[in-house]
Structure 1
Amino acid sequence: MPRIAVLPGDGIGPEVINEGLKVLNAIESKYGVDFQEDMYPFGGVAIDKTGDPYPAETQAACLKSDAVLLGAVGGPKWDSLPGSKRPEAGLLDLRKSMGVYANLRPAVLYGPLKDSSPLKPEIIGDGLDVLVIRELTGGIYFGQRGREMVEDGYRAYDTEVYSTHEIKRIAKVAFEAAMKRRKKVTSVDKANVLESSRLWRETVEEVAKDYPEVTLEHLYVDNASMQLIKNPHQFDVIVTGNMFGDILSDEVSMLTGSIGMLPSASLRDDKVGIYEPVHGSAPDIAGTRKANPLATILSVAMMLRYSFDMEDAARDIEKAVVSVLEKGYRTSDIMQEGMTLVSTVEMGDLVVKEIRG
């Protein structure tokens, strides 16, 4: 029986995870499959329970699982803790321990939500479909860091480090994805300033030689952030390093109208992955039933596609989400005039109803 480690986390994490599991259970019934779904503490709640954001029990379970379904972590309650003890440190440790290096964030603006995008209609057109592929286990987030005393206080440093191997494997993921899409890769770096970016660019160009059908372009990160607003349709697959990907993927998410709509998958070379919504823990709305569960539900679809080879089931979920939106149902973050406002739980129920037919 395939095993899924479920890490609800903090804030709205448990609420959206509940709806994701509800949808997964509907898929189990429809397709006659069974998953073993076990919950474990992670993030701030794990700190409160064990003093560690990624306890040994949770780590052992994740390493034995076929997939991890994650809610969200963090909140002001833990902001004063040292960096290595904060919930976000657990997230980095989770990715590192599982060896997931490729973060896939599809930014899709569905037709029924076109009016939710902050871009003008003439820019957004009929919708948007951009795939951001972010390198996840290297770069400045994992380089050497520290503080040292100087005359007037402290000096802090964080080190950006990338190897040829790390760049090659993420570039290959991007080109493989582009071959199944519109066959264009945009590599984003800062090669006019950073030596790590110069190696990045050189290595991506080498990998591109194996994919002559794919068009490759390079953009500096500052220009890329501008072009995403000016003309998002020029992009198909964007591949970039850890920090730039962190920033640009959130920018792309807002072009779709709400970060509450964006799923993500973090993968390694086998089929094991971590699946989570792009949004944070949103502690200000936790418990109010306002959270949008669709990003988590769409993350479940990605899990079925990438970890369990259940393409038809993944498409069932995606079609159900579109159908619910077409019928005018909205959570508060995507609410529009003339639509029907629903709660977190109600949105999950509506998606399940569509799946069951």
Structure 2
Amino acid sequence: MLRNAASQTSRLARGYASTATTTAREPSRFGGIYNVTLIPGDGVGRELTQSVKEVFESLNAPVQWSEYDVSGETNASEPQFLEAVESIKRNKVGLKGILYTPLEANAHNSWNVAMRQSLDIYASVVHCKSLPGFPTRHADVDFAIIRENTEGEYSGLEHQSYPGVVESLKVSTVAKAERIARFAFDFAIKNGRKRVTAVHKANIMKLGDGLFLNTCRRVAKEYEGSGVTFNDMIVDNTAMQLVAKPQQFDVMVMPNLYGNIVSNIGAALVGGPGIVPGVNIGADYALFEPGCRHVGMDIMNTNKANPAAMLFSAAMMLRHLGVSNHADKIAGSVYQVVRDGKVRTADMGGNSNTTDFTHAVIKNL
């Protein structure tokens, strides 16, 4: 999958001791042991992270987990949530399932969003790639979605100015638009990509999205001669182009809400949320999680979830840590299981379960 996601991310130091549950690892011949924060999350998250644990165990991967049982369903997990954030600050890297976000107006805000904002993990990277051996409507899809993670509609600034009238503030700043634009171009160069497409709605939101678009255009001029070209596209046209001809996209950069929607479209193009990896990354911290952020409450504890996305995300995490040998083995094994077509979960049209897929990956290792 993708190589180390951002050139500006600092090399990860080994973490300190944690009050969370830890799983000890023997040092591997590839170096020392990394402390990594693990947040299984809600829904199918525990089953998916258990798959990662088993695969890491079979490889003796140099990772010691600091695990936090956080849930977004109630406010009761707030102390664990705060401890998990502090753990990521110590360890610099984490692996996470998706936390449930309640819909009720009086409920707490999304802890997924709160974590990104408090850690300033400002760039979401989602890799949508066709898997050999698993045909979908479109072949040869391979693009990365770079999503600004900390502002826009997700700023969480809402109030009721009058009964029945709610005002939501969409915050757009030059500093964060420039930061995510540079990230996208640096990412493209580092990963051998050829084009960056800025997605916007500047024809209607002339100030907010206009600021984002104009900033991307200005940054693009600084990368002239780098081999990476630039274009822009209105978000509604982007949705149509994605389902009509997704092969035209390479690296896409966009504000928060558009990134959420486009990543779901991208996942559907290549086979669903079970196979799309992702990472939220900033200058100091990296938090890896499936790229299509579905909790899977309807199939939790049924052993039906596809662990491929979480395994791919874990492989990206290992590559980020510099443990590329283990990362390549895991990613290659998942590719082989999919290519063979003998073990497939229900979302991929098969009858196998999470355990079957995990054991097949381990067998290929």
Give TM-score, length-normalised by structure 1. Answer: 0.86
User: Does 2:283 correspond to 1:269?
Assistant: yes
SS in 1 for 2:253: strand
Relative to its length, the structure with more helix (as a share) is 1
| Structure 1 partner of 2:214 | 202
Q: Secondary structure at the match of 1:191?
A: coil
Residue 343 (structure 1) shift = 1.1
CA-CA distance at 1:65 after TM superposition? 1.7
Pick from 94, 97, 104 the counterpart of residue 68 of structure 1.
94
1:329-340 matches, cutoff 5 A:
329-335=343-349
Deviation at 1:177, TM superposition (A): 2.0
Q: Check the 8 A contact 1:43/1:53 in 2, yes or no.
A: no
1: distance between equivalents of 2:81 and 2:133? 42
Change (3 A) 1:181 1:218: same
Question: Secondary structure of 2:300's match?
Answer: coil
- Residue of structure 1 equivalent to 2:115: 94
- Cα deviation per residue 1:63-99 (whole Å; 9 max; x = unaligned)? 2123111112227xx544624x25xx21111111211
- How far residue 290 of structure 1 moved from its aligned partner, in angstroms, is 0.6
- Determine if contact 1:181/1:236 at 8 Å carries over to the other structure: no
1:324 aligns with 2:348: no
Which of 338, 354, 357 pairs up with 2:364?
354
User: 1:297: how far off?
Assistant: 0.5
Matched residue of 1:167: which SS? helix
Q: Distance in 2 between matches of 1:182 and 1:36?
A: 34
User: Tell me, which stretches of 5 or more residues in structure 1 are unaligned?
Assistant: none
Aligned to 2:203: 192
Correspondences of 1:45-56 after superposition (within 5 Å): 47=74, 50=76, 52=78, 55-56=81-82
Could you say what the CA RMSD is over the residues aligned between the two structures, in angstroms? 1.8
User: Counterpart amino acid of 2:195?
Assistant: K
Q: Does 1:181 align with 2:189?
A: no
Contact 2:144 2:251 in 1 (8 A): yes
- What secondary structure, in the 3-state scheme, does the structure 2 residue paired with 1:52 have? helix
2:256 pairs, out of 242, 261, 266, with 242
C-alpha distance in 2, partners of 1:72/1:177? Answer: 25
Q: Write the mapping of 1:113-152 to structure 2, written as runs, cut at 5 A.
A: 113-114=134-135, 117=136, 119=137, 124-125=138-139, 127-142=140-155, 144-149=157-162
In the other structure, the counterpart of 1:293 is 307
Say if 1:6 and 1:40, in contact at 8 Å, map to a contact too.
yes
Query: Given that residues 68 and 80 in structure 2 are in contact (C-alpha distance below 8 angstroms), is that contact kept between their aligned partners in structure 1?
Result: no
Aligned equivalents of 1:128 and 1:320: distance in 2?
20
TM-score of the aligned structures, taking structure 2 as reference length: 0.85
Identity score, percent: 30
SS in 2 for 1:73: coil
Match of 1:26 in 2: 58
Match of 1:342 in 2: 352
1:3 CA displacement:
1.5
Match of 2:177 in 1: 167
Residue 54 of structure 1: how far off its partner (Å): 5.8
Deviation at 1:143, TM superposition (A): 5.2
Unaligned runs of 5+ in 2: 1-32
| Counterpart residue type for residue 316 of structure 1 | K
8 Å CA contact retained: 2:198, 2:231: yes
Quote the Cα distance in structure 2 between the aligned partners of 1:233 and 1:53: 45
Which of 121, 146, 155 is equivalent to 2:165?
155
Distance 1:321 1:51, change over 3 A: closer
- Determine the C-alpha separation between the residues in 2 that align with 1:261 and 1:280: 12
What do residues 242-268 of structure 1 show as CA deviations (whole Å, max 9, x unaligned)?
000011111111000111111110001
In structure 1, distance between residues paired with 2:200 and 2:80: 31
Shift of 1:53: 7.8
| Contact preservation (8 Å) 2:72, 2:111 | no
Q: How many matched pairs?
A: 327
The range that moved more, 277-286 or 3-12, is 277-286
SS at match of 2:252: strand
**Which residue does 2:11 correspond to in 1?**
none
Query: Match for residue 230 of structure 1?
Result: 244
What one-letter code is carried by the residue in structure 1 that aligns with 2:354? T
1:249-289 deviation line (CA, Å, top 9, x unaligned): 1111100011111111000124x311111242211111111
For residues 143 and 82 of structure 1, what CA distance do their matches in structure 2 show?
Answer: 13
Whether 1:9 aligns to 2:41 is yes
Counterparts of 1:204 and 1:259, CA distance in 2: 29
Q: Could you say what secondary structure the match of 2:280 adopts?
A: strand
